[in-house]
Amino acid sequence: MAPRFASVLAVALAGSHLAFAQNPDDTAEAHPKLTTYKCSKAGGCVAQDTSVVIDWNYHWFHTADWLSCTTASGAINTTLCPDEATCARNCFVQGDTNYTANGVTTSGDTLTMYQYTKNSDGAYQNASPRLYLLGSDGNYEMLQLNGKELTFTVDLSQLPCGENGALYLGEMDKTGGRSQYNQGGANYGGGYCDAQCPVQNWRNGTINTSGAGYCCNEMDILEANSKAISFTPHPCTDADCDRNGCGFNPYSQGYKSYYGPGGTVDTTKPFTVVTQFNTNDGTASGTLTSITRKYLQTGVVVASANTGGDTLTSEMCNTLDSGAAAFGGLATSGKALARGMVLTFAIWNDVTGYMNWLDTGSNGPCSTTEGDPSLIIQNNPTTHVVFSGIRWGDMGSTFSSGSGSGTTTVKVGTTLTTSKASTATASTKVTTTTKTSSTSSAVGPAQTHYGQCGGKGWTGLTACVSPYKCVVSND
């Protein structure tokens, strides 16, 4: 499962830059830096110059006259966007210059994501950010994890029933669908796809004219709150995906006190999640045969839920999920992991199903109604997730089961860096109002910013202030 957008969020114009779909200004989007680490047995963990980018749909699309390219219902205006070329000519994607306003902050190797943000009037509004890991070249960082492992620390203590703090991989296009009609690409969070084959306004960075969904391999590493946890491979063929996936959840396997507040994995404190993608021959090109999950807390590996260990094998996957085999099961997921997948972070809740599939009934201890977002915003408006120390590489290179309390030690080159997941204060009851979307009161473009600077019969200014350039788009 993955979050869905109810509507496109409009963002404030003040102080921001513009990017014309055909001439994007890459400095416009202010990507928060997030250090991650690539590890090998020989070289230890080396810090990567990475950042996060918010999904394309969180951006504002507008004409040169500052009219929205989306309609009141959140669809794309088909007069402005009847086809890819016309849409690219008429509509601009505005860079996001303030991720804090989207509920996202980073510091070093720590990423904090809030479900709600507070307005200036004190009311909370839905933010529910979704982010991708971006490399320093403006393309997505492609994680090749077949035969490798991925490790990170997470603090889920502030996520109640119904919330989902997610870290997963999707086989998106490395460039975010960058093309002649979308030169922003990954820099603007383009190209989202997943195993639910979402039908979106945009497909791979350009306008969806066919109405087709956009399917791709998805590997859910973590979908969790303080009460329930699951990891789920979702393999795809060209036509469709295993939408259910073979979810691995200790509670549904009968280990009901393993995970949760005060559990064997105690969610009142941060813990470290290790995921190992084991191949038949131990190489990065072998066939994926199983996935092993380990948890570390206070620096030591927590005993696994059952004596067989927390390993999901191909056989278990096919048993847990009758749909898996038709899509080639774990072997198909392994091929996607070998090609490379995009690391995705999200915090979301679910107005229709209250996330019951994750944490109620046989999957967790939550009631079927407490995940209602209208209760969450009342009782836990500051709900948030903290990810830190994200590292991947050779088996056994990303963690060690040493000592330490609440800290993760990461070897960076020859130096040791210690990252401590931030702790957050518990939320108190705050009366809130929901706000679904905000429309910005657009002021006319000034030539100093992004105004008309030429064209047939034009007698106005023909130059723009630095750093902007006058670019021909049409007569």
Residue of 171, 223, 315, 370 marked active site: 223
Q: Give the nearest residue (CB) to ligand NAG.
A: 211
Residues 6+ apart with CB under 8 A from 202: 56, 57, 76, 190, 208
Q: Does 382 help bind ligand NAG (rule: CB under 6 A)?
A: no
Q: What is the amino acid identity at position 47?
A: A
Reduced to 3 states (helix: H, G, I; strand: E, B; else coil), residue 414 is coil
Strands 51-54 and 124-126: unpaired
Q: Compute the least distance from the CB of residue 335 to ligand NAG, in Å.
A: 16
- Phi/psi for 344 (5° steps) reads -125, 140
By rule CB under 6 A, what string of x and - marks binding of each residue 274-313 to ligand NAG?
----------------------------------------
Q: Both tokens of residue 153?
A: 């620390």
| Residue listed under structure tokens 């657009």 | 442
How many C-beta atoms surround the C-beta of residue 421 within 10 A?
Answer: 23
Nearer to ligand NAG by C-beta: 208 or 225? 208
Residue of 84, 141, 171, 218 marked active site: 218
By rule CB under 6 A, what string of x and - marks binding of each residue 61-100 to ligand NAG?
------x---x----xxxxxx----------------x-x
Contact with ligand NAG (CB under 6 A): which of 166, 207, 229, 273?
207
The answer to whether 81 and 91 have CB atoms below 8 angstroms apart is yes
What pairs with residue 170 in β-bridges?
218, 342
Can 218 be counted among the known catalytic residues? yes
Q: Compute the least distance from the CB of residue 140 to ligand NAG, in Å.
A: 12
Q: Compute the least distance from the CB of residue 156 to ligand NAG, in Å.
A: 24
User: Terminus-to-terminus CA distance in the chain, angstroms?
Assistant: 46
Per CB under 6 A, the segment of 150-158, 205-213, 279-287, 426-434 that binds ligand NAG is: 205-213
Nearer to ligand NAG by C-beta: 213 or 404? 213
Q: Compute the least distance from the CB of residue 118 to ligand NAG, in Å.
A: 8
- Buried/exposed code over 437-473 (b: 16+ C-beta within 10 A; e: otherwise): eeeeeeeebebebbeebeeeeeeeeeebeeebeeeeb
Nearer to ligand NAG by C-beta: 127 or 296? 127
Tell which residue, 341, 391, 348, has the closest CA to residue 235: 341
How far is the C-alpha of 48 from the C-alpha of 425, rounded, in Å?
Answer: 30
Contact with ligand NAG (CB under 6 A): which of 25, 163, 173, 359?
173
Q: Compute the least distance from the CB of residue 216 to ligand NAG, in Å.
A: 7
Can 315 be counted among the known catalytic residues? no
Q: Compute the least distance from the CB of residue 124 to ligand NAG, in Å.
A: 12
Residues 364, 365, 368, 373, Cα dihedral to 10°: -90
Q: Does 101 help bind ligand NAG (rule: CB under 6 A)?
A: yes
Reduced to 3 states (helix: H, G, I; strand: E, B; else coil), residue 203 is strand
> What residues are labeled active site?
218, 223
Q: Which residues would be at the binding site for ligand NAG (CB under 6 A)?
A: 67, 71, 76-81, 98, 100-101, 173, 175, 177-179, 199, 201, 204, 207-209, 211
